[in-house]
Amino acid sequence: MPEYLAPGVYVEEVPSLIKPIAPVSTSIAGFIGVVPNEPIVEEVKDQMIATGDGEKTQFKLPLGSYPVKPDAGEYEIKIGDEINPFEARLENNDETKDSFVVFQQAPQAGADIRGSYKRFFNSVVGVGEVKVCTNFTEFTKSFGEFTQDTGQNILAHAVYGFFNNGGSRCYVMRVNAENDITEQFLERTFEPIDEIAIVAAPGILESSVRAAIVTHCQQRTQDRFAIFDCPQVVETNGLLDLLKLDRDNDNNVVPDYSDYAAFYFPWIEVFDPATKTRKYVPPSGHIAGIYARVDTAIGVHKAPANEVIFGALGLKYKISKAQQTLLNPQGVNCIRDLNGNYLVWGARTIGGDANSDLKYINVRRTLLFLRESIDEGTQWVVFEPNTPNLWRRITRNVSDFLTTVWRSGALFGDTPEQAFYVKCDAETNPPEERELGRVVTEIGVAIVRPAEFVIFRISQITPQTNS
């Protein structure tokens, strides 16, 4: 306390004993894509792209959607059956990002000009290097525009779908192969980034990789939720394999039970800028965007379902209500075509009914939100004297936060007392706990459940007449 020597009024600033708990973000995603260092050449295309005119001294041919860069060295021009009969060079237009091949001598009028190219990916980002993106343009600076490389294209569509559906911030990294994604790899790359709340590996189906991601979410960080995709094709002789789920089968397309992850089916159809055609892509990136959209508009307590997938033009499979009856209890979240809208029509964790009180995505994610918010908002408690005064401060601090959460509609009850309780006293902190340097607080919350089954009971009545 300062020493006062002269008479007068002294005003002092006293730090508050209560430090408000701030809600953490639940909508920041982490994306992992399989994009090799070297081009994957699955096929070399030889397509008719123009006809020679035989007139101009310098013939400039736009290549449209062909993924060509001057330093790629992956392009050939053929006139007839001959390769590069005239001196030619490749150019890029920085503004339109179009590519051109310029002939110093015009090909003969009527001659077929064909282009053969190998698919390639040209990235400035190394394997395991994590980049933060707040819009799709930032993604393209590190990972390129849409290309015809399968892995890069899937990753690009996932991140584009994330932003298009309401996402505002994500972290992205690439690997050379699926098997590179291990628990140790995630520990080095994603684990240090505290604000990641959603993890998605678009199109990755390897069971060991999924297990590593679940371990990362459930055990290593304990505050993240994973979104998994189904395979693009899940049918045999026209019958959906998903409808005969067999958990004992190692080849089962549905991942093992986990209330820290969700599984979506089927793939969605989108417009692909690289090929100028429609194509099917895994939905996890778009779904992650919907999580963010719902979190922002309503809150993490609202189930991310009955929501339109922006950018979806169709579905790989159309699921009936009768078919979903078999899938929903297992935790297979279907995307349905309902009245011309492509809607997320499921809100369950993987395993569904088997996960008991954690079978709903919003319940698990709300618990993660509460855990992380309280964790970050009570760091001030560490090394404080473990006395009844501290217990009261903790109780008040957490209760104030949960009251705000209750007012947002996340907790069930007409009063805060019905919605939650906080207990930090001599009963939870006996001498033996205090001797170990522990302060123990018990918290109970009543998280709202989604209205998954809406039932209207209709019956006929006999009209009453006045006598």
Domain that holds residue 460: 380-467
Same domain, 412 and 312: no
Distances (CA, A) of 211 to 181, 258, 353: 10, 10, 20
Rounded CA gap, 407 and 304, in Å? 20
Rg over CA atoms, the chain: 29
- Domain annotation covers residue 163: yes
Same domain, 214 and 335: yes
**Does residue 51 belong to any structural domain of this protein?**
yes
Regarding whether 146 and 94 lie in a shared domain, the answer is no
Work out the number of other CB atoms within 10 angstroms of the CB of residue 313. 12
Q: Say whether both 134 and 108 belong to one domain.
A: no
Answer yes or no: do 105 and 144 share one domain.
Answer: no
- Inside any domain, residue 8: no
Domain-located, residue 16: no
Q: Are residues 344 and 393 in the same domain?
A: no
270 and 352 co-located in one domain: yes
CA-based end-to-end distance of the chain: 88
Task: Show which of 69, 87, 117 is a domain's final residue.
Answer: 117
Q: What's the DSSP call for residue 330?
A: G
The pLDDT profile of the chain, 467 residues, written as one tens digit per residue, is 678 888 888 887 776 666 799 999 999 999 999 987 754 444 475 556 667 676 655 556 555 544 444 444 445 556 655 555 555 555 555 554 455 566 666 667 777 766 655 444 455 688 889 999 999 999 988 888 888 778 889 999 999 999 999 999 999 999 989 999 999 999 999 999 999 999 999 999 999 999 999 999 999 999 999 999 999 999 888 788 887 776 666 566 788 899 999 999 999 999 999 888 999 999 999 999 999 999 999 999 999 999 999 999 999 999 999 999 999 999 999 999 999 999 999 999 999 999 999 999 999 999 999 999 999 999 999 999 999 999 999 999 999 999 999 999 999 999 999 999 999 999 999 999 999 999 999 999 999 999 888 889 898 988 877 75
334 and 462 fall within a common domain: no
> b vs e for 92-119, b when ≥16 Cβ sit within 10 Å of the residue's Cβ?
eeeeeeebebebeebbeeebebbbebbb
Same domain, 301 and 204: yes
Q: Say if residue 315 is in the same domain as residue 416.
A: no
Residues 6+ apart with CB under 8 A from 157: 146, 202, 270, 272, 281, 285
The answer on 112 and 146 residing in a single domain is: no
Total domains in the fold of the chain: 3
- Strand 268-272 vs strand 420-423: parallel, antiparallel, or unpaired? unpaired
The verdict on residue 11 lying in a domain is no
CA distance 370 to 365: 9
Q: Which CATH number covers residue 257? A: 3.40.50.11780
For 310-357, list the strands marked E by DSSP. 314-315, 332-338, 341-344
Length of the chain: 467
Would residue 236 count as lying in a domain? Answer: yes
